[in-house]
Structure 1
Amino acid sequence: MTSDRLRPPPPAPPLLRLYLAPESTLPRRIDGAWWPRTSDLPAELPQRLSGLPRGWGRILSVRVNGTVWTGAPARMLVRDQVVRVRGTTTAHASSTVVLMAPGHGRRDLLVVPPEATERAAASLVFAAGLTAEPRSSAS
């Protein structure tokens, strides 16, 4: 017979490495930063979208730099919702992912390169004026 007192605590939710700008009514260029672990979009994007704040609405369209992300499909199924993925090669979009949610607008995330060191990632996040604490997948 096992006692609840002898069971180890559940593991902490994994960090999504998502850093968000504080809520504001003022427009801004960057709404947050995302530091993915790889450049494999089908592996990274579903977890990313599932970890966004509810107030951002349901993301139905994502624009990514097609030269940065590998294996970017035209559509993905995320939480029983089809998300359209559009690739672009414009210079200004090279380091961002644009998320669109009907009725909630557009959110731009700065993408920290997966190979960045922790120090380099922190510098990019700080330079963008974002909080230094990443969100967990339970956020």
Structure 2
Amino acid sequence: MTTTDIRLIGPHQFLPVRLALVPQGTGLHRIDGAWWPRSRHLAAELPSLLHALGPRWGRITRVTVDHAMWNVGPRRLTLGLRTIHVSRAAGMGHRHTVCLLSLGTGRCDLLVVPPDTPPDRAGRMLAIASRVDGATGPWTSPTGSRPQAVPT
């Protein structure tokens, strides 16, 4: 069974987002921060993330995720009057990333900390991914090893 569209009608309850971003005005970065969703249900997690990123990245219209990270979900997500296109790619660079595109603003790439990551490790991953110097360490990868595909 494949879900192609999800339409959220009426007021949506936005949960607090576990998100850490590189500070604005520090130049271009290959990874703009990290996001620690509460589940692998993309349709449930994306609205809160998009709401939190709105002030910085504007109207995000396209999201690309690795298919192995998320449960089956929508190809489009409608929030109010806007539609967000969701693409699932195999091997899009690194399994634990999400790419968000905003017309006129650009691209936001986030490291996705798996939902079942222990809080202490997730906190370190969020902190490292949002460092201005872009340095990564062993905690950047959910497996505990230095990832080859996560840009520094």
Could you say which TM-score interval applies, normalised by the shorter chain? Answer: 0.7 to 0.9
Runs of 4+ aligned residues of structure 1 deviating over 4 Å after TM superposition are: none
Q: Distance in 1 between matches of 2:91 and 2:58?
A: 26
Distance change (3 Å), C-alpha of 1:25 and 1:127: closer
| Structure 1 match to 2:149 | none
Deviations 1:44-83, CA, capped at 9 Å, x for gaps: 1111111214131100000001111112211111232100
Matched residue SS, 1:84: strand
| Structure 2 match to 1:116 | 117
Q: Distance in 1 between matches of 2:34 and 2:76?
A: 23
Unaligned runs of 5+ in 1: 1-12, 132-139
| Structure 2 match to 1:69 | 70
| Structure 1 match to 2:91 | 90
| Structure 2 match to 1:100 | 101
Deviations 1:82-137, CA, capped at 9 Å, x for gaps: 00000011162311110000110100011011001110101212222449xxxxxx
Paired residue type of 2:60: I
CA RMSD of aligned residues (A): 1.9
Distance change (3 Å), C-alpha of 1:14 and 1:66: closer
Give the % identical residues: 39
TM-score, length-normalised on structure 1? 0.78
Considering Cα pairs closer than 8 Å and 6+ residues apart, tell me whether 1 or 2 has the greater RCO.
1
Distance change (3 Å), C-alpha of 1:17 and 1:81: same
| Structure 2 match to 1:57 | 58
Aligned length: 119
Unaligned runs of 5+ in 2: 1-13, 133-152
